[in-house]
Structure 1
Amino acid sequence: MPIVSGISTPIAMESRVADRAPRLTVEQAYEHCARLVRSHYENFTVASRLTPKSKLPHVSAIYAWCRTVDDLGDEAVPDQHDPAEFGQSATRALVTEHRLERLAWWEEELDTAYGGQPAHPVTIALQHTIAEFGIPREPFLRLIHANRMDQGSGRVQNFGDLLHYCEHSANPVGHLYLYLFGYDDAERQRLSDFTCTGLQLTNFWQDVARDYQDRDRIYLPLDDMERFGVNESNIASGIAIDAFRSLLRHECERAMDLFARGAPLVPKLDRSSRLPVALFTRGGTAMLDAIKKRNYDVLSGRPALSSRRKTWLLLSTLLSVKLGMGYRLPARGGKA
């Protein structure tokens, strides 16, 4: 992100104030989570329509917790961090130190959710959700660790390193969702991991330019870049040379393979939890298709799905789930 003195995102700023506010009741805490996600994350409006009403407060609590930890790792900045005063290098060090401190505080708050008195409204709600569904601590800890990993160089050496990152940044979210619907078995978690990793990779390939420009991060494996003849200056130029297009095609095919391996999860879920998972898969493969239609040029512009396309995906997925058709990936090269 650009380092600008005195600017932070709403959630990152809120996390520094809410932990000092008077403790809320559980009901007030859930409402706080619902307001937070509604006001900052437009996709949650759609997700809420797909979620059983009894589960919605718990989904709000987990979503708010996950987004907060991501914002602390990506956006939190100290009050004084002006590059003109401290220098660019020293400023980055200050920002990194501050984010690590805030992540340590958030982990302490998580500890209180498993045997104490949380101070933050999100953690108050989360404590109730944890007790209600018997959710273990490990998925939350992995998400915190992923954000600590983000404070490093912003580079990954190989695809194995990238998968390791996704094991912490993406896969825990799928496990948390499964816990909310009563699934704690290894097989469903394994299939969920394929889907969640596919979604994370798709997001990375969609945002290659933005991640580099705004956060100085490159999630393309460095050894793949070398093998295809791509370097950082190619990404910085904003021009998708043939070598870059070939590289991104290779990475998109890896993501599609992961969606194919995770697709059998959908029929293994009850209908109340099947629709969002099927929609995530269809949305991810549709985005890969959108990237392909741009001939893998994600540098000159960010691929996106039109409102019409999103509506079609929602309605067609809803129909297939209602008819018990499950979800089958298209043939390679077809539409999602």
Structure 2
Amino acid sequence: MKIPSSIVATLSLSSAIQLTNSLSLPPSAAFTRSRRRTHLYSIAPQQTDTPTTTNNNNTPSNGSSGSSNGRTTREIAKELSLGVTLDNGPVIDFASVKDSTSRAEMALLEARKRYEASLLNKSNAHTSGGDGSKVGSISSSQDGGRLMGINDEVVAEVGYEIGDFANEYVDVANGETVEELVQKCGAYLRSKSCAFSTQLAQQSHQPESPEGRQQEFTPEEISRFNRLLSRSYEESGIVTSAFAKTFYLGTQSLPEPARKAIWAIYVWCRRTDEIVDAPRSSSANPNEEMLRDLSEWEIRTELLFDKGQVLDVLDLPLLDCKVKYPALKLEPFSDMIRGMLMDIPGLGQERYETWEELHLYCYRVAGTVGLMSMPVFGCAEGFTDEIAKEPALSLGVAFQITNILRDVGEDAKKRGRVYLPQRDMERFGVTERQLFDQKVDDNYINLMKFEIARARMYYARALRGVPMLSPDARLPVQLSLDAYGKILDKIEENGYDSLTKRAYVGKWEKLAGIPASWYRTLDIAKALPLPGDWGRPTLEDYEKVLEEMLEKKWVKERGASATSDYLHSLNKN
């Protein structure tokens, strides 16, 4: 699935930077307005097709969804409408709903019911979680003893077994186990949170006293717990660096607390992705096993956010984040799991009929990371999370579109997946067979020009959010924004061939862009922009050009009825 790249991006701008295949940092190429406009206006479909008629609800006239997961366009529009309204269009946010109509969602629900029932039937179902609550018999590790979401691929990438360091902090003399150590450290972290302390006091019918609870731990224990937590953060940073080198580099400019928090968030996303994508060749029913594991993972995440419960050493940093940043919410984590479900072969969404459907996927697997990181980065004076939300989500969507455009050929050839909206392909005369055969022609080039233009429109929306962030967070966001935008430039330099070539931005090119990204975060850059930034198209420029292109080219060749629904979706998103 596509998660590292998106996260890199998203985690940077949500305050916001990215996750779905890896993460990033160089300067975007300096395109003049005329060059960008040439790219946009040169898009002209070269093959006619049958216009698609729509009703006033932008729903196919036959009422069908066209989606393999059972969602109709109206249902997706309803979800979109739950978001806040900015720039005359809805923004998906925490209101993203659990889609009870999709096969994947229903399968996960059933898997969760079976898993919860199995917990009740186990002999240790009443094991204490360290705070007096019942954790059931959720295991802290997978078969083989590894932490959940850690597999051969992760170990090979990092170079050693993840989590083994915890043994160094165990009180062997008193017979302590790693599991017991983790529970004690979790209890210590919960004692530092007013919210969790209040909850614990209510459960034990005792007056709330966070200070008193902290005194239950000796100075020696507190020192040991803090060293374990510090090492857990360090391990999270190592995992982040192994899978998202450019993203990791971008986090180095953050203050230490924020840097570590972003590592913790990334590791949760990485583990979730591995649970969904891990090879299960030995399983008789890979999807059933994956759904069981994902159910367990979702329950674990809910317990951590709701009750502060942890099960392994990599849970500790995320709990510490929740304690330090109380505004960190469960919803975007849950929404990301919904996005993972959309990628499950045989259960999720195999194709995306419209941009609106793909936009939902982009939000769930990438925009959510922006929402996760907003409480960590914070906003500049005069701005609120609600205002900064739209740019944060837009950056995540921009990064995910970039991932998709970069990997069109790889997704088709290796995974049999097509993420490009079917209606876009039809309008530009591009077929799935063409993608699988890796045939680049004028129609495909024009389709890529259009999709790149749309991606840049989202980058333009995201760019407006950089000044909204706290000063410490602006540089890593700008670095990621510039670096990922450069991938689009590389696609253009490759002749728009993303079927047989993979756009790649080298390490030194990324490093060379740091000074320019830094300058763009300064107030003086508004009055004295870099030479390559003079005449840079604004968000309004992109929106106007896209709309004019559609009206002049598509309406002229195909009639207004063939484009009215598409123009509507552009304005909407």
Range of TM-score over shorter length: 0.7 to 0.9
Q: Is the 8 A contact 1:290 1:305 kept in 2?
A: yes
Alpha-carbon distance in structure 2 between the residues aligned to 1:12 and 1:166: 29
Q: Is the 8 A contact 1:197 1:258 kept in 2?
A: yes
Q: CA deviation at 1:197?
A: 0.6
Alpha-carbon distance in structure 1 between the residues aligned to 2:466 and 2:474: 6
Q: Residues 299 and 142 (structure 1 numbering): CA distance in 2 closer, same or farther, change over 3 Å?
A: same
Output the aligned Cα RMSD. Answer: 2.8
Q: Is the 8 A contact 2:404 2:419 kept in 1?
A: yes
Provide the residue aligned with 1:267 in structure 2. Answer: 467
**Structure 1 residue corresponding to 2:518, chosen from 318, 325, 334:** 318
1:37 and 2:240 aligned: yes
| Aligned counterparts, 1:115-264, within 5 A | 115-134=307-326, 135-151=328-344, 152-183=348-379, 185-264=385-464
Provide the residue aligned with 2:209 in structure 1. Answer: none
Structure of greater relative contact order (alpha carbons < 8 Å, 6+ residues apart): 2
Alpha-carbon distance in structure 2 between the residues aligned to 1:62 and 1:301: 32
Alpha-carbon distance in structure 1 between the residues aligned to 2:156 and 2:350: 20
Alpha-carbon distance in structure 1 between the residues aligned to 2:272 and 2:448: 29
Q: CA deviation at 1:196?
A: 1.3
Alpha-carbon distance in structure 1 between the residues aligned to 2:291 and 2:246: 28
Q: CA deviation at 1:284?
A: 2.6
Greater Cα offset, 24-33 or 275-284: 24-33
Q: Is the 8 A contact 1:146 1:168 kept in 2?
A: yes
Which one-letter code corresponds to 1:108 in the other structure? I
Q: Residues 228 and 79 (structure 1 numbering): CA distance in 2 closer, same or farther, change over 3 Å?
A: closer
Q: CA deviation at 1:144?
A: 0.9
Greater Cα offset, 182-191 or 56-65: 182-191
Q: CA deviation at 1:308?
A: 3.4
Q: CA deviation at 1:101?
A: 2.1
What per-residue deviation string (whole Å, max 9, x for no partner) do you get for residues 284-311 of structure 1? 3221111122221111110111333212
Structure 1 length as normaliser, TM-score?
0.84
Provide the residue aligned with 1:78 in structure 2. Answer: 280
Alpha-carbon distance in structure 1 between the residues aligned to 2:376 and 2:430: 43
SS at match of 2:504: coil
What per-residue deviation string (whole Å, max 9, x for no partner) do you get for residues 46-68 of structure 1? 12322212322211101111111
**Structure 2 residue corresponding to 1:95, chosen from 270, 280, 286:** 286
Q: Residues 34 and 280 (structure 1 numbering): CA distance in 2 closer, same or farther, change over 3 Å?
A: closer
Q: How many residues align structurally?
A: 314
Which sections of structure 1, spanning at least 5 residues, go unmatched? 2-6, 87-93
Alpha-carbon distance in structure 2 between the residues aligned to 1:226 and 1:54: 48
Alpha-carbon distance in structure 1 between the residues aligned to 2:412 and 2:478: 30
Which one-letter code corresponds to 2:239 in the other structure? L
Alpha-carbon distance in structure 2 between the residues aligned to 1:95 and 1:294: 38
Which one-letter code corresponds to 1:227 in the other structure? R
SS at match of 2:356: helix
Q: CA deviation at 1:139?
A: 0.9
Provide the residue aligned with 2:100 in structure 1. Answer: none
SS at match of 1:170: helix
Q: Is the 8 A contact 1:77 1:98 kept in 2?
A: no
Q: Residues 257 and 48 (structure 1 numbering): CA distance in 2 closer, same or farther, change over 3 Å?
A: closer
Alpha-carbon distance in structure 1 between the residues aligned to 2:273 and 2:534: 30
- Which structure has the bigger radius of gyration? 2
| Aligned counterparts, 1:6-25, within 5 A | 9-10=153-154, 22=179, 24=182, 25=185
SS at match of 2:267: helix
What per-residue deviation string (whole Å, max 9, x for no partner) do you get for residues 84-142 of structure 1? xx7xxxxxxx3333322222121111012120421133322211101211101111111
SS at match of 2:521: helix
Q: Is the 8 A contact 2:449 2:496 kept in 1?
A: yes
Alpha-carbon distance in structure 1 between the residues aligned to 2:489 and 2:366: 21
Greater Cα offset, 112-121 or 199-208: 112-121
Alpha-carbon distance in structure 1 between the residues aligned to 2:477 and 2:243: 22
Q: Residues 42 and 285 (structure 1 numbering): CA distance in 2 closer, same or farther, change over 3 Å?
A: closer
Greater Cα offset, 303-312 or 263-272: 303-312
Q: Is the 8 A contact 2:252 2:259 kept in 1?
A: no
Q: Is the 8 A contact 1:170 1:196 kept in 2?
A: yes
SS at match of 2:315: helix
Q: Residues 274 and 322 (structure 1 numbering): CA distance in 2 closer, same or farther, change over 3 Å?
A: same
SS at match of 2:309: coil
Q: Residues 104 and 21 (structure 1 numbering): CA distance in 2 closer, same or farther, change over 3 Å?
A: farther
Q: Is the 8 A contact 1:103 1:148 kept in 2?
A: no
Alpha-carbon distance in structure 2 between the residues aligned to 1:44 and 1:201: 17
**Structure 1 residue corresponding to 2:267, chosen from 59, 64, 70:** 64
**Structure 2 residue corresponding to 1:112, chosen from 303, 322, 333:** 303
Q: CA deviation at 1:77?
A: 2.7
Provide the residue aligned with 1:89 in structure 2. Answer: none
Alpha-carbon distance in structure 2 between the residues aligned to 1:146 and 1:329: 38
Q: Residues 65 and 310 (structure 1 numbering): CA distance in 2 closer, same or farther, change over 3 Å?
A: same
Q: Residues 262 and 188 (structure 1 numbering): CA distance in 2 closer, same or farther, change over 3 Å?
A: same
Provide the residue aligned with 2:536 in structure 1. Answer: 331
What per-residue deviation string (whole Å, max 9, x for no partner) do you get for residues 249-294 of structure 1? 1111110111112211111122200011112221232211111222
| Aligned counterparts, 1:299-318, within 5 A | 299-318=499-518
Which sections of structure 2, spanning at least 5 residues, go unmatched? 2-150, 165-176, 186-228, 538-573
Structure 2 length as normaliser, TM-score?
0.51
Q: Is the 8 A contact 1:12 1:71 kept in 2?
A: no
